[in-house]
Copies of this chain bind each other. A is one copy, B any other.
């Protein structure tokens, strides 16, 4: 199973504002142990155990997060944690991954993974990936991992599946089109239609196949990758990357390639795949007390229910409060109703305007 030309690239550049105050610019979501007892990033690496070894796992993150990311995943060679000098969205990160993989392993293939999700069981996840690699290596296809929708989500993009390519243990389809996040009614239609999968942001392809698609559909990003090829693992890498990235605009891989290319296939991922996207999402990952409270750390409740309390190194005592999110970080505390947890982003924005709060952001 351990093919030497298979790599994994984990994209972990996000800021995770929705997990403020625990997540900050210097210690974002992916290096926190929100669920599962290990940093999200470490869990993303753990999921590849027995399938892709640490030497062939790359992490692409922002330059400012290289150190904390290396700390979170000490089993990776330091050179495998690559810092982007500025954010240029996912097309550039995928292309940079292709450059590194191609430089280290001409003819190599890689999967793009994220660190934002809880995935289980790992066995099935690896089976789907294995099949994705097999399909990708067989030709020039760009393989996307689609997720069987669990509900009519308006929070994900969708992939409309066309003809069946393989119908065995792993089902693979031609992708008819990529569609952006739908409204509620459209999402319901997709769910009923049965041939729409969530766009997970996970892909498998040969480095050369991705570069070919970029050459056709997003030349500037392709050219960046080609320019980087000769400096991979060499002293000029960082300076070269900065110069190249400075010339790029921001564009996502979906918009740059997936919505345009015609050689896209989808492997249906029938594993559990949870976006741990905001504080209330933690409810799905922890045991609740008799009153429906999720308490991580130390909480004391009097007539209080349905709360999500993150209180490490501190006791939080609640009297008569319901459905609140309460999160303590070292120097800041957040309190808001679960239903308004999305507005944490606005709070972070509000605080950004005041330099007194720089130390908590």
Interface residues of A (CB under 8 A from B): 21, 300, 302, 311, 313-321, 324, 326, 328, 331-337, 340, 343-344, 346-347, 350-351, 357, 360
Nearest-Cβ distance from residue A300 to partner chain B, whole angstroms: 6
Q: Are B347 and A302 within 8 A (Cβ)? A: yes
Nearest CB of chain B from residue A361's CB, rounded to whole Å: 10
- Our pick among B300, B314, B351 for the contact of A317 (Cβ within 8 Å) is B351
The answer to whether A321 and B324 touch (CB under 8 A), given A302-B347, A333-B333, A335-B335, is yes
**Which residues from chain B contact A360 at a C-beta distance below 8 Å?**
315
**A350 neighbours in B (Cβ, 8 Å):** 300, 302
20 interchain pairs, CB-CB under 8 A: A300-B347, A300-B350, A300-B357, A302-B347, A302-B350, A315-B331, A315-B351, A315-B360, A316-B333, A317-B347, A319-B335, A319-B336, A319-B337, A319-B340, A319-B346, A320-B336, A320-B340, A320-B343, A321-B335, A326-B335
Contact in complex: B311, A343 (CB < 8 Å): no
Whose C-beta in chain B lies nearest to the C-beta of A320?
B340
Task: Select one of B311, B337, B344, B347 contacting A333, CB under 8 A.
Answer: B311
| Pairwise interchain contact B333-A300, C-beta atoms closer than 8 A | no
Copies of this chain held together in the complex: 2
The A contact surface, by secondary structure, is: strand
Bound together, the chains give a CA A311 to CA B343 distance in angstroms of 21
| Given A300-B357, A318-B336, A320-B343, 9 new contacts (CB under 8 A) | A302-B343, A302-B347, A302-B350, A317-B332, A319-B334, A319-B340, A321-B335, A321-B337, A326-B335
Cα distance, A318 to B316, chains bound together (Å): 16
CB distance from A308 to the nearest CB of B (A): 13
B residues less than 8 Å from A300 (CB atoms): 347, 350-351, 357
Q: Which chain B residue shows the least CB distance to A349?
A: B302
